[in-house]
Amino acid sequence: MTRHRKFLAGGAVILAALAYLIYAGLTQSAVYFITPSELQAAPVTGKAYRLGGMVLPGSVEWNPATLDLAFALSDGKASVPVRHRGTAPDLFGEGRGAVVEGSWTGDGYFKASQIMAKHSEDYKAPHGNPGDASYRDLLRTLKKDGTAR
Amino acid sequence: MIPEIGTGALAVGAALALYGGVAAAVGAGTGRSALIASAQHAALAVFALVTGCFLLLAYAFLTFDFSVRYVAIQTNLATPFYYRITAVWGALEGSILLWAWMLTLYTLVMVLRHRAQRDLYPWALAVMLGIVAFFLVVMTIPAPPFERLTPVPPDGRGLNPLLEDTGMITHPVALYLGFTGFSVPFAFALAALITGRVGDAWIATTRRWTIIAWYFLSLGLLIGGWWSYHVLGWGGYWAWDPVENAAFMPWLTGTAFLHSAMIQERRRMLKLWNISLVILTFGLTIFGTFLTRSGVIASVHAFSQGSIGAFFLSFLALVLLGAFGLLAWRWDRLRADGELDSVLSRESAFLLNNLALVAAAFTVFFGTVFPLLSEAVRGVKVSVGAPFFNQVNVPLFLALIFLMGVGPLIAWRRASVENLTRNFLGPVAVGTGAAAVLWLVGVRSTLAVLTLGLTVFTAGTMALDFSRAARARMRGGLGLLPAMATVLRRHNRRYGGFAIHFGILIIALGVTGSQAWSVQTEATLRPGETVRLAGYAVRFDGLSAAQDSTHAKVIGTFTVSNGRGEATVMRPTKKFYPQEQSPIAGVDYRMGLREDLYLVLGDFARDGSQATVKALVNRLVSWIWIGGLVLTLGALLAIIPDDKRA
Amino acid sequence: MWKWLIPLSVLPVVVLLAYGFRTNPREIPSPLIGRAAAPFALRSFDGAPVSLESLKGRVVVLNFWASWCYPACYEEAPVLERSWRAFRDRDVAVVGVAIQDKEESARKFIRDFSFSFPNAPDPGGKVSIDYGVYGVPETFFIDRAGRIRRKHAGALTDELFRTEVEKLLRES
């Protein structure tokens, strides 16, 4: 039965290799969730995190020329300044929840490589209804330039 | 009116399906064919009822019947005609109705095709009707598509804008045809366990079912990637999101089963393995549906929650415990008649292929539930993303590509040195040569070089085999083309499989190219200003606005010229839907064989004085869709019925 | 014997998945919870003044709705009215604020659902901004001390109203 044992040994080696691959992969790429309070309590520079909170109203600064986006994420107790290069996703906005992935820089802000904003299917937003016309104003402005279809 | 009729019909259907399942089981157990016939009638009736419900719901959508809650949530008065139809399966309740309908359809086909078969068919019918009953019960209790809304609102909410796309018409349909298709092999596998006839009969019966289900699942995954690519605006096609993983896992185990079934047919080995794989594949389809609908794991795709998660989890537990329990009961009968002779054999290659696929499925599963595990055991919330899945799966997929080349050509039982050199020396040389050429040209991505080398090797083995077969025919007097056609026709299973493999190779190259060589940039431009990327010049011309039936949109006009002086105008948009909290990006892209150019409109000034645009040059992405096409042709070739056999 | 391990191994996986029902993977804490509710002074559609100050000491359920919000506000409206009637004698106040609605349509909405609690328009949207409202319907549960204790987005249910209000009433 040495052949049998050979196959079992081969199988065990393969299993061990797989287990190692998975273990290495997880320890390297699993990213921890953290709240602003937790981050403020114990900031670790350079470690990858997913930081979740609400975008503080009034904290968003967007510079279209340099594509620099800065804002603060808060969980009601602490708030963390965040910086990101590039436009934020469409769902991003003040007073809304967002999760950012990145790391603490040690220079006083969290550098976000990715911004993930929440989408809620439950209800409607006050856009485009008969009363308010925030985006309609936008369209009207553009149409005035004579560039409408 | 409609809510009551629909709800009633579904409840009756659930009862009938339950009756049919029990009748078929009792009839199978006691041998009373009258009961089996009665179960068949029940199956027919359930199909008619569910079809009727589907049409009824579609009718409610087409007539803007907002007394049905589902219609009021999914559409509004402005939703165009064709989206009103696809909205039927656009959310939870409707998607379950679609799933249930496909199950009843497959059950009907199974009845028509296999009712002459005495031993396995009655039990398989019982299992299918049991599964149908479960889904109908789900539609009766936690997720009723016909729930009434009082008072009836004057207008509805509207379709999720991301679903206003052709992908919405085809993706769920293809995916569900794949998922539900695996119910039939599962039903026959259980029948085999219950009757103790765990030999080849159940596999032979379900061979074509497996290929068809597998094909639709592959198609569904590809369309999903395509939809993600051209709708979501991130330039990618696969994010290792839990919902995507949920569909990928049964594909992996299904592919494994497809191959290991061939070993059982030929060598009567791997009986235990095959039955386990089928049970696992079906279990994973239910797990997938549980994952997307229960809200247990965070995902960007997830449907809404409710008590439905508990229903699916209970069903999943029941199915797996029952099926694996039957397996343990019939353990002794599942001994192999043949044995593995050598590592260098076709059996071994197929076995390694299976190991790689199951390992990949396990990896994906583990990575998907790890956040849950971590929170349950350590109380720590983590997320597992693309880097993990890529790191572990890429080596496995490369191994699979290699095995794709080795498997079909290597000898059964024990490959001699002569057999190995005759079949593989040439392809190995060509593969190594291709890799070397790539390296010499300056490509330094190990992944790309390795992938190309292996891909060329595998393609080489296929070409070698096919040319030998064609040449043999030609020696018999046929011309080149007739010889090729005859080979394809006579051995359509083999060469259909080759074509499918070839499609996968093309997809692999597309994936590698897009991962290794895609570039992107972002810039804010004033009218007339240009941003450059990879030989393209993108010039911002201006903004304009327009109104569609369901939304208003802002259009950015860009003139793009390539290095050869050709120019085209591209118009990415930002769409504003009344029912949405924020605008949705509309991507504009130009597809090409070598690369795609992809523009996304970001932020813009209200007076049109500037706009931020993201430009992506995605290399070789089109190859993924082309590979899908080749895969389709291969699948069609593979399922052509043989003239010789019954 | 060991073969039975295969079906049994299903159980820990199921248990793990069931654990998932208890956790909410998407939960992001709202910074408003626990904070003092922003004061408001509005004039209802009937002309009567409605202010948070005047309701101090009572449990306040502040609901933001709109006539154009289909179908959630339509599902929720009967719940609101029912719950109001059940709790009106128990130190509970329900206030509805119509967001960005045309007066005609808002009045019709109130009539259709026979709202007997005060409803007011929000001119300039100041109140909705103060409460960080970015969709409808949204409901805020404010305790006797005037602190926001819970925010619910989406249609209310009788169950939810009852449990939350009962909890806040129990606090002195």
Each residue of A67-119: pLDDT tens digit?
999 999 988 778 899 999 988 887 788 777 788 999 999 888 999 998 987 65
What is the residue whose two structure tokens read 């659930």?
B14
The verdict on a CB contact (< 8 Å) between C68 and A129 is: yes
- Measured between CB atoms, does B156 come within 8 Å of chain C? yes
Quick check: A149 pLDDT over 50? Answer: no
A33, B371 Cβ separation under 8 angstroms: no
The verdict on a CB contact (< 8 Å) between A145 and B608 is: yes
- A124 secondary structure, DSSP code: B
B156, B68 Cβ separation under 8 angstroms: no
CB interface of B with A, residues 312-341, below 8 Å: 340
DSSP string, B108-128: HHHHHHHTT--SSHHHHHHHH
Rounded-to-integer distance, Cα B50 and Cα B58, Å: 12
**pLDDT value of position B643:** 63
The verdict on a CB contact (< 8 Å) between A120 and C105 is: no
The verdict on a CB contact (< 8 Å) between A121 and B607 is: no
- Which tokens belong to B205? 């019966």
Quick check: A144 pLDDT over 50? Answer: no
Q: What is the mean pLDDT of chain A?
A: 78
Least CB-CB distance to B524: which of A65, A92, A149?
A65
CB interface of B with A, residues 553-612, below 8 Å: 554-555, 574, 576-585, 602-603, 605-608, 610, 612
Residue B558 backbone phi and psi in degrees, to 5: -130, 135
CB atoms inside a 10 Å sphere around CB B4 = 10
- Which tokens belong to B380? 């720590």
Rounded-to-integer distance, Cα B196 and Cα B60, Å: 48
Closest residue by Cα to residue C17 from B229, B6, B283: B283
Confidence band (pLDDT; 50, 70, 90) for A127? Answer: very low
Least CB-CB distance to A53: which of C28, C68, C154?
C28
**pLDDT value of position B15:** 97
A33, A17 Cβ separation under 8 angstroms: no
- Neighboring chain B residues of A91 at a CB cutoff of 8 Å: 581-582
For residue A107, the distance in angstroms to the closest alpha carbon of chain C comes to 25
DSSP string, B554-622: EEEEEEEE-TTS-EEEE--EEEE-TT-SS-EEE-EEE--SSEEEEEEEEEE-TTSS-EEEEEEEEETHH
- Measured between CB atoms, does C114 come within 8 Å of chain A? no
For residue C82, the distance in angstroms to the closest alpha carbon of chain B comes to 14
B274, B256 Cβ separation under 8 angstroms: no
**pLDDT value of position A57:** 80
CATH of the domain at C70: 3.40.30.10
User: Which residue of chain C is at minimal alpha-carbon distance from A97?
Assistant: C28
- Residue B503, C-beta contacts closer than 8 angstroms, at least 6 positions apart: B627, B628, B629, B630, B631, B632, B633, B634
- Which tokens belong to B417? 């040195």
- pTM beyond cutoff 0.80: yes
Closest residue by Cα to residue B146 from B71, B90, B91: B71
Rounded-to-integer distance, Cα A14 and Cα A8, Å: 10
Residue range of the domain that includes C24: 2-170
Each residue of C122-134: pLDDT tens digit?
887 888 878 878 7
**pLDDT value of position A119:** 56
Pick the CATH number of A31-139 from 3.40.640.10, 3.40.50.2000, 2.40.50.140, 3.40.1280.10: 2.40.50.140
Amino acid in position A127:
H
Least CB-CB distance to B369: which of C16, C21, C78?
C16
- Neighboring chain A residues of C137 at a CB cutoff of 8 Å: 123
Q: A36-50, A125-139, B479-493, B513-527: which has the minimum mean pLDDT?
A: A125-139
User: Which residue of chain B is at minimal alpha-carbon distance from A15?
Assistant: B359
- Neighboring chain A residues of B343 at a CB cutoff of 8 Å: 10
Q: Where are the beta strands (DSSP E) in chain A?
A: 31-34, 48-55, 61-63, 68-74, 79-85, 97-104, 110-117
**pLDDT value of position B48:** 97
Rounded-to-integer distance, Cα B193 and Cα B331, Å: 9
Q: Where are the domains of chain B?
A: 1-164, 519-623
Least CB-CB distance to B385: which of A14, A31, A33?
A31
The verdict on a CB contact (< 8 Å) between C25 and B297 is: yes
Chain A with chain B: Cβ pairs closer than 8 A: 143
Rounded-to-integer distance, Cα B498 and Cα B506, Å: 12
- Measured between CB atoms, does B297 come within 8 Å of chain C? yes
Each residue of B31-55: pLDDT tens digit?
899 999 999 999 999 999 999 999 9
What is the residue whose two structure tokens read 């096919």?
B466
- Which tokens belong to C53? 């100050």
Least CB-CB distance to B391: which of A14, A25, A62?
A25
**pLDDT value of position A147:** 45
Torsion-angle region of A106 (φ positive above 0: left; ψ -120 to 50: alpha; else: beta): left
What is the residue whose two structure tokens read 């009665």?
B38
The verdict on a CB contact (< 8 Å) between B359 and A145 is: no
* Element counts in chain C: helices (H) and strands (E): 6, 7
CA distances from B228 to B98, B200, C41 (A): 22, 41, 47
For residue A9, the distance in angstroms to the closest alpha carbon of chain B comes to 13
- B319 secondary structure, DSSP code: H
For residue A38, the distance in angstroms to the closest alpha carbon of chain C comes to 13
Least CB-CB distance to A64: which of B367, B574, B610?
B610
The verdict on a CB contact (< 8 Å) between A64 and B542 is: no
- Measured between CB atoms, does B118 come within 8 Å of chain A? no
**pLDDT value of position B100:** 97
For residue C137, the distance in angstroms to the closest alpha carbon of chain B comes to 12
What is the residue whose two structure tokens read 């061939």?
B262
User: Which residue of chain C is at minimal alpha-carbon distance from B582?
Assistant: C134
Rounded-to-integer distance, Cα B347 and Cα B362, Å: 22
**pLDDT value of position B427:** 94
For residue B363, the distance in angstroms to the closest alpha carbon of chain C comes to 15
What is the mean pLDDT for each group of 10 consecutive residues in chain B (646 residues)? 94 97 94 93 97 96 94 89 90 92 96 90 96 96 90 85 81 94 96 90 90 95 92 87 93 96 87 94 94 71 66 94 94 80 89 94 94 86 90 94 94 89 93 94 90 96 94 88 90 94 97 93 93 93 86 91 89 85 86 93 86 94 96 92 60
Least CB-CB distance to A30: which of B388, B606, B610?
B388
B601, B589 Cβ separation under 8 angstroms: no
Least CB-CB distance to A135: which of B385, B544, B552?
B552
The verdict on a CB contact (< 8 Å) between C68 and A130 is: yes
Q: How many domains does chain C have?
A: 1
Torsion-angle region of A67 (φ positive above 0: left; ψ -120 to 50: alpha; else: beta): left
User: Which residue of chain A is at minimal alpha-carbon distance from B91?
Assistant: A121
CA distances from B325 to B121, B313, B315, B331, C9 (A): 21, 18, 15, 10, 11
Closest residue by Cα to residue B458 from B416, B413, B417, B508: B508
Each residue of B304-322: pLDDT tens digit?
456 888 899 999 999 999 9
B77-84 contacts: CB < 8 A, separation 24 or more?
B77/B155, B77/B156, B78/B158, B78/B549, B78/B550, B79/B156, B79/B158, B79/B159, B79/B549, B79/B550, B80/B549, B80/B550, B82/B169, B83/B159, B83/B163, B83/B164, B83/B168, B83/B550
Burial (CB < 10 A; 0-12, 13-18, 19+), residue B439, is middle
Burial (CB < 10 A; 0-12, 13-18, 19+), residue C161, is buried
Rounded-to-integer distance, Cα B48 and Cα B108, Å: 10
User: Which residue of chain B is at minimal alpha-carbon distance from A86?
Assistant: B522
Rounded-to-integer distance, Cα B113 and Cα B121, Å: 10
The verdict on a CB contact (< 8 Å) between C135 and A120 is: yes
Strands C92-98 and C59-65 come out as parallel
- Neighboring chain C residues of B155 at a CB cutoff of 8 Å: 68, 70
- Fold adopted by B519-623: Tick-borne Encephalitis virus Glycoprotein; domain 1 (2.60.98)
B279, B224 Cβ separation under 8 angstroms: no
User: Which residue of chain B is at minimal alpha-carbon distance from C13?
Assistant: B317
Least CB-CB distance to A75: which of C29, C101, C154?
C29
A119, A148 Cβ separation under 8 angstroms: no
For residue C89, the distance in angstroms to the closest alpha carbon of chain A comes to 31
Strand, helix or coil at B34? Answer: helix
CA distances from B449 to A54, B269, B513 (A): 45, 37, 11
Rounded-to-integer distance, Cα B14 and Cα B100, Å: 11
Q: Where are the domains of chain A?
A: 1-30, 31-139
Helix axes B33-62, B2-30, angle to 10 degrees: 160
Least CB-CB distance to C134: which of A74, A99, A125?
A125
- Neighboring chain C residues of A90 at a CB cutoff of 8 Å: none
- Measured between CB atoms, does C77 come within 8 Å of chain A? no
The verdict on a CB contact (< 8 Å) between B298 and C25 is: yes
B78, B87 Cβ separation under 8 angstroms: no
Residue B468 backbone phi and psi in degrees, to 5: -60, -45
Quick check: C16 pLDDT over 80? Answer: yes
Least CB-CB distance to C100: which of A57, A96, A129?
A129
CB atoms inside a 10 Å sphere around CB B346 = 21
Whether the predicted interface score ipTM is above 0.85:
no
- Neighboring chain C residues of B307 at a CB cutoff of 8 Å: none
**pLDDT value of position A130:** 35
Q: How far apart are the first and last CA of chain A?
A: 80
The verdict on a CB contact (< 8 Å) between B524 and A10 is: no
Rounded-to-integer distance, Cα B598 and Cα B587, Å: 7
Amino acid in position C71:
P
- Neighboring chain A residues of B370 at a CB cutoff of 8 Å: 26, 30
B198, B232 Cβ separation under 8 angstroms: no
Strands B611-619 and B519-525 come out as antiparallel
Rounded-to-integer distance, Cα B255 and Cα B403, Å: 13
Each residue of C18-76: pLDDT tens digit?
888 776 655 555 667 778 898 999 999 999 999 999 998 999 999 999 988 888 899 89
- Residue B395, C-beta contacts closer than 8 angstroms, at least 6 positions apart: A21
Quick check: A125 pLDDT over 80? Answer: no
- Neighboring chain B residues of C135 at a CB cutoff of 8 Å: 581
Rounded-to-integer distance, Cα B20 and Cα B128, Å: 10
Tell me which of B66, B76, B372, B381 to substitute to probe the interface with C (most C C-beta atoms closer than 10 Å).
Answer: B372
- Residue B500, C-beta contacts closer than 8 angstroms, at least 6 positions apart: B630, B631, B634, B635, B638
Rounded-to-integer distance, Cα B496 and Cα A74, Å: 57
Helices (H), B232-342: 242-267, 271-294, 308-329
